[in-house]
Structure 1
Amino acid sequence: MDSLRWRVPRKLPLVKLVGAGALLAVGLLFADGDVVRLGLAAVAAAALALWAARDLLAPVRLEADPSGVTVVAGFAGRRHLAWSQIEGVRVDTRPRMGMRTEMLEIDAGDSLHLFTVYDLGVPPGEVAQALTERGYL
């Protein structure tokens, strides 16, 4: 059986990098000689660029195969969890600010791994359904 993979949507890192450039440009335009304003814009742009770099270095956030799942750990590392280590997989749905948000939760006992649609590229409910259909859960 081949593995199932879920990744960050391909456009998301590009949007983050464009946003970082826009922040830097706005900082340059409105700093008006104030190094604090320029510094804050540069720090915010750098943080957004670093976030985009993570998406480019580790685009696959979750991979499942008969042996278990591999999840992103840390900035761009990987951690394999055997199915025997996984205590539960569930989709947490909550209303927030008039919108419904979903998160896929993978409980490995000593660690909890959370994934949103922005990590997986598809709604978390679809991922849980795919794992169930393959007989992994």
Structure 2
Amino acid sequence: MTEMPEPVLRWRVRRDLLVLKVIAVLVLALLTVLSRDDPRGMILAGVAALAVAALALRDVLAPVRLSADGEGLVVVKGFAGSQRVPWSAVERVRVDRRTRFTSRTELLEIDTGEGVYLLSRFDLGAPCQEVADELRVFRTGT
């Protein structure tokens, strides 16, 4: 008898956001070249191109920011690394909502007691509350 593979849930950066970052890098690189006569503009555009390129590279190297299976979670850590967190180490999963001026942010917060992992909807490719609900159902079955 063959063993059924264990279900795995994965949340990743949306591909369209990666494409937008690559386009932004190309536009900023072009602006850098076109700003040869303006040293400040050239430096500003060049630094911006490098920063966006670093963000795009992270999306290529670590597209899956969070996954869950029967043993626990795998969460992105650092620039492109990851860390396995067993379910027994997860103390709390919640959505942190903050409003500042007219801007509202939501972050998925995974608290292990020894550390806190924060993931945005841009990291997850889905609304944070939806991911928190899916994790709860996956973990507890209810």
Give the TM-score of the pair, scaled to structure 1.
Answer: 0.90
CA shift for structure 1 position 136: 4.2
Is 1:46 equivalent to 2:44 in the alignment?
Answer: no
Paired residue type of 2:13:
V
Match of 1:12 in 2: 17
Query: Could you tell which deviates more after superposition, 92-101 or 72-81?
Result: 92-101
2:31 is paired with a residue whose SS is: helix
- State the number of aligned residues: 136
Unaligned runs of 5+ in 1: none
Match of 1:59 among 63, 67, 73: 63
Is 1:68 equivalent to 2:68 in the alignment?
Answer: no
Q: 1:74 to 1:33 in 2, by over 3 A?
A: same
Q: String of CA shifts for 1:67-123, please: whole Å, max 9, x gaps.
A: 110001111111000111112111111223424321100011221100111000000
Query: Runs of 4 or more off by more than 6 Å in structure 1?
Result: none
Match of 2:108 in 1: 104
| Structure-2 separation of matches of 1:21 and 1:95 | 33
Match of 1:92 in 2: 96
Q: Percent identity?
A: 46
| Structure-2 separation of matches of 1:5 and 1:126 | 13
1:20 is paired with a residue whose SS is: helix
> How much is the aligned-residue C-alpha RMSD, in angstroms?
1.7
| Structure-2 separation of matches of 1:123 and 1:13 | 18
Give the TM-score of the pair, scaled to structure 2.
Answer: 0.87
Unaligned runs of 5+ in 2: 1-5
Match of 1:125 in 2: 129
Q: 1:63 to 1:136 in 2, by over 3 A?
A: farther
1:134 is paired with a residue whose SS is: helix
| Structure-2 separation of matches of 1:136 and 1:101 | 27
